[in-house]
Amino acid sequence: MDHDGTGVVLCYPYGQEYIRCHMLYVHMANKLAKRGFHALRFDYYGTGDSAGDFSSVTVKESLDNIQMAIDELKKTYDVSRIILFGVRFGATLAVIYSRLHAIDALVLWDPVLDGRFYLKSIDQSYKNWLKGAFAKRKKKNNSFIENFGFQFSMELVNEIRAVNIGREKWMTDIPTLVLGANSEYWIKREDEFNKAMVPVYETDKTIDWLDNLLL
């Protein structure tokens, strides 16, 4: 199917979830490309292969980086439609961006809607991991919060805390596919926590939805 005029920008989550979702994003980008979409994976400043350190990451700059990725995709492939894909906080960044700029569709996997709850949950995951590890949690530092080796600056923590997207408010007028932990598409797997996530069934459902959306 020809989707030559459509670009999909894949927005990564932060921290440990970036690592766990990396192969999912590679798989998704490859599948999208085979279906005729222009797919772009990229790393925010301070993450992955980009310059900078994670301790300097902010939501504001990540949103600017999404804009840069979109601009690059439009310039390189002359696309006229932009779709944002994201998992966890990557999905949240996609939602926030869509409130500030015009895009054509959103694909959101298990988006973070409550920043405070999200911070508590990743902190609890880290505590659970430390119980079975030789590593010990470093002494509390008032300038950052450590999580699986990633230093979340207090600026980033406060930006995340400010996220409070009630379900009745966060849906937009643009076409949106949401797959969550309670979704019919989200298949539970044994020991998922300790495995890289490459959910083929959900990936295919996502791409089929995009195919039908653009018919």
Report pLDDT for 165.
84
Report pLDDT for 214.
76
Cα–Cα–Cα angle for 77, 214, 4, nearest 5°? Answer: 20
Report the distance separating Cα 85 and Cα 82, nearest Å.
10
Question: pLDDT of 71-81, one tens digit each?
Answer: 999 999 989 99
Rounded to the nearest 5°, which phi and psi values hold at 132? -105, 15
Domain at 6-113+171-210: CATH architecture: 3-Layer(aba) Sandwich (3.40)
Domain boundaries, the chain: 6-113+171-210
Secondary structure (H, E, C), 55-79? HHCCHHHHHHHHHHHHHHHHHHHCC
Where the chain has pLDDT below 70, the residues are: 1-2, 133-143, 167-172, 181-198, 215
Report pLDDT for 136.
61
Task: Give SS3 for 88.
Answer: coil
Report pLDDT for 182.
57
Report pLDDT for 195.
46
Contact 183, 8 (CB under 8 A): no
Q: Which of 71, 72, 68, 65 is nearest to 90 (CA)?
A: 65
